[in-house]
Amino acid sequence: MKNIQMVDLHSQYLKIKKEIDEKWEEVMESCAFINGPMVKQFQADLEAYLGVKHVIPCGNGTDALQVALMSLNLKPGDEVITTTFTFIATAEVVALLGLTPVLVDVDADTFNIDVSAIEKAITPKTKAIVPVHLFGQCANMEQILAIAQKHNLYVIEDACQAIGATYTFSNGTARKAGTMGTIGCTSFFPSKNLGCYGDGGAIFTNDDNIAYQLRGIVNHGMFKRYYHDMVGVNSRLDSLQAAVLDVKLKYLDEYAQARNRVAAYYNQAFANCDKLVIPVVSDKSTHVFHQYTLKAKGVDREKLIAYMAEKHIPVMIYYPVPLHLQKAYQDKRYQHGDFPVSEQLCKEVISLPMHTELDEEQLKYITENLLAAIKYAAK
State the amino acid at position 320 in one-letter form.
Answer: P
DSSP secondary structure, 136-182, as one string: GB---HHHHHHHHHHHT-EEEEE-TTTTT-EEE-TTS-EEETTSSSS
Q: Which residues of the chain have pLDDT under 70?
A: none
Residues 6 or more apart whose Cβ sits within 8 Å of residue 190: 7, 9, 196, 197, 198
Residue 179 is predicted with a pLDDT of 98
Residue 4 is predicted with a pLDDT of 97
Q: Please give the order of strands across the beta sheet that includes 154-158.
A: 54-58, 201-205, 183-187, 154-158, 126-130, 79-83, 100-104
Residues 6 or more apart whose Cβ sits within 8 Å of residue 171: none
Q: Residue 228: is it exposed, middle or buried by C-beta count within 10 angstroms (0-12/13-18/19+)? A: middle
> How far is residue 15's CA from residue 250's CA, in Å, rounded to a whole number?
13
pTM: 0.96
How far is the first Cα of the chain from the last one, in angstroms, to the nearest whole number?
A: 32
Nearest Cα to Cα of residue 290 among 154, 165, 103:
165
**Helices (H), ranges, the chain:** 9-30, 37-50, 61-70, 89-96, 115-121, 141-151, 208-217, 239-249, 252-270, 301-310, 340-348, 360-377
**3-state SS, residue 325:** helix
CB 132 within 8 A of CB 158: yes
How do residues 91-127 score in pLDDT, each as one tens digit? 999 999 999 999 999 999 999 999 999 999 999 999 9
- What distance lies between CA 83 and its chain's CA centroid? 13
Nearest Cα to Cα of residue 114 among 122, 123, 104:
104
Query: What count of residues does the chain have?
Result: 379
Residue 379 is predicted with a pLDDT of 85
DSSP secondary structure, 4-51, as one string: P-S--HHHHHHHHHHHHHHHHHHHHHHT--BS-HHHHHHHHHHHHHHT
Q: Strand pairing of 79-83 and 100-104? A: parallel
Other C-beta atoms within 10 Å of 290: how many? 27
Nearest Cα to Cα of residue 144 among 171, 167, 172, 173:
167
Nearest Cα to Cα of residue 131 among 149, 150, 113:
113
> How far is residue 181's CA from residue 68's CA, in Å, rounded to a whole number?
11
> How far is residue 29's CA from residue 23's CA, in Å, rounded to a whole number?
10
Residue 177 is predicted with a pLDDT of 98
User: In this structure, what are the phi and psi dihedrals at residue 203, rounded to the nearest 5 degrees?
Assistant: -125, 140
Residues 6 or more apart whose Cβ sits within 8 Å of residue 25: none
> How far is residue 22's CA from residue 75's CA, in Å, rounded to a whole number?
46
